[in-house]
Structure 1
Amino acid sequence: MLLPLPDGDFKAYLFDCDGTITDSMPAHHRAWLAALGEWGGDFPEDLFYAWGGRTVVDVITDLNTRQGLTMPVAEVAARREELFQEMLGSISPVPGVLEHIEASYGRIPFAVVSGSTRESVTASLTAVGLLDRFEALVCAEDYTRPKPDPEGYLLGARLLGVDPRDCLVFEDTDLGVAAAEAAGMRYSRVPAPWER
């Protein structure tokens, strides 16, 4: 199924990574549960999806507050990444998005704008054989204000040399869609795994 796009002549495509290019959200959730469980934390699935697009540091910090814990942020983040890396063989590209990547590659530039770390984004894209398709990667380390702030998407457009109004964003989360709209960009909403 080809993902429908809004009308317009776009000069660049900007993609979120997890849940948009790669069908990695279930693996990420399993990694989160295992890592947090080692410190007595939890991350209910509905909250995990609602917080899609947030940085790992923000998630751990807020879970500590909500659950009255003092989980060490850097250690939990590193453990979650280690566990996720072990699951890379289980992820695949998101149908519909992959077709747009294949159809438009080489015709217009692509960038990834993700709340995940560069290590995680690079590993995910490598696992599905798509890393070489993207001229720019904008990851959690590259900006200070996470989605729904438009900073990441504006940086992606700037790195590609394209006016934000000429960019189309592919996103699977409410926070990501809000970031795209705040950047003045049109978007295509990627359905969640259970909606496909």
Structure 2
Amino acid sequence: MYAQGDVDPPVAVRAALFDLDGTLIDSEPRSRALWRRLFTSHGIECGEDMLDGFSGRRSREVIEEHLARFGRHATADQVREELTALNGEPDLPPVRLVPGAERLLERLRRDEVALAVVTSGGRRYADDHLTRCGIAGHFTTVVSAEDVTHGKPDPEGYLLACRRLGVAPGDAMVFEDSAAGLQAGRRAGARCFAVGRAARTPALYRLAERAVDDLAQAPVIGSAEASRRRTGTGAAG
């Protein structure tokens, strides 16, 4: 279990599975502004505690949970369409890469670590932001909300990513910033890294094996076999 101040030795893995929002990209200000705008446009109070509960979850599940508050004639599809339309408004906060994300991804690719994104967002949303941030080419696969029946904290998304990459969950490291995501990773049987706000929140980083605020400092490397291939060391055959 992680303890602040520890100097962690490197962890060798075959795959690294990343949440998107709050883990690879800093979308939290935009996401909170978007949800607040949706709810307040319907006269629904939306406080910080309520917004905290949306983190790491699929928009469909959040909307269905609160659907009755939008009126008896509202449907989940209608509210989702409204949310999608609001996302196009130009005055929302911008989305940026989190510190160290690109450096870590480049290092893991050099070490022959298979990379995937497992997000609670939709596929179009994920592809758009990965492309805009210049990191789409790093990933072998993206598991989005449309690919699973059950969202985080259910492990379905992480298990699917492992199957697509051809690795056992125990050989994968999950990077997450939310309780729902960390619980999903643990339930899948993967190792977990708490990042961003999760690394600064005791209740969250206790769910992880490791924690780091800057992704570039994450002590994760490829397998010993991949390292030998890359450096040309090892026994001659």
What TM-score does the superposition give when structure 1 sets the normalisation length?
0.87
Match of 2:36 in 1: 33
Match of 1:77 in 2: 80
Distance 1:85 1:98, change over 3 A: farther
Match of 1:92 in 2: 96
CA distance in 1 between partners of 2:93 and 2:131 (Å): 11
1:155-175 residue CA offsets vs partner (Å, 9 max, x unmatched): 001011111100000100001
Matched, 1:170 2:170: no
Matched, 1:24 2:15: no
CA distance in 2 between partners of 1:6 and 1:25 (Å): 30
What's the offset of the Cα at 1:45? 2.5
SS at match of 2:149: coil
Distance 1:42 1:120, change over 3 A: farther
Unaligned 5+ runs, structure 1: none
Distance 1:48 1:98, change over 3 A: farther
Greater mean deviation of Cα atoms: 26-35 or 75-84: 75-84
SS at match of 2:44: coil
Match of 2:206 in 1: none
Contact 2:40-2:46 at 8 Å conserved across structures: no
Bigger-Rg structure (1/2): 2
SS at match of 2:11: coil
Greater mean deviation of Cα atoms: 165-174 or 25-34: 25-34
Distance 1:25 1:54, change over 3 A: same
CA distance in 1 between partners of 2:198 and 2:134 (Å): 20
SS at match of 2:51: helix
Match of 1:154 in 2: 159
CA distance in 2 between partners of 1:129 and 1:32 (Å): 26
CA distance in 2 between partners of 1:18 and 1:32 (Å): 14
Matched, 1:114 2:98: no
Match of 2:217 in 1: none
Match of 1:102 in 2: 106
Over the aligned positions, Cα root-mean-square deviation in angstroms equals 2.4
CA distance in 1 between partners of 2:38 and 2:20 (Å): 21
CA distance in 2 between partners of 1:100 and 1:181 (Å): 22
Match of 1:55 in 2: 58
Contact 1:14-1:113 at 8 Å conserved across structures: yes
What TM-score does the superposition give when structure 2 sets the normalisation length?
0.73
What's the offset of the Cα at 1:69? 3.6
Contact 1:14-1:170 at 8 Å conserved across structures: yes
Matches within 5 A, 1:124-135: 124-135=129-140
CA distance in 2 between partners of 1:183 and 1:5 (Å): 23
What's the offset of the Cα at 1:123? 1.4
1:121-180 residue CA offsets vs partner (Å, 9 max, x unmatched): 111112211111111010001011111111100000101111110000010000100000
Q: Percent identity?
A: 34
Unaligned 5+ runs, structure 2: 1-6, 201-212, 214-237
What's the offset of the Cα at 1:42? 4.1
SS at match of 1:105: helix
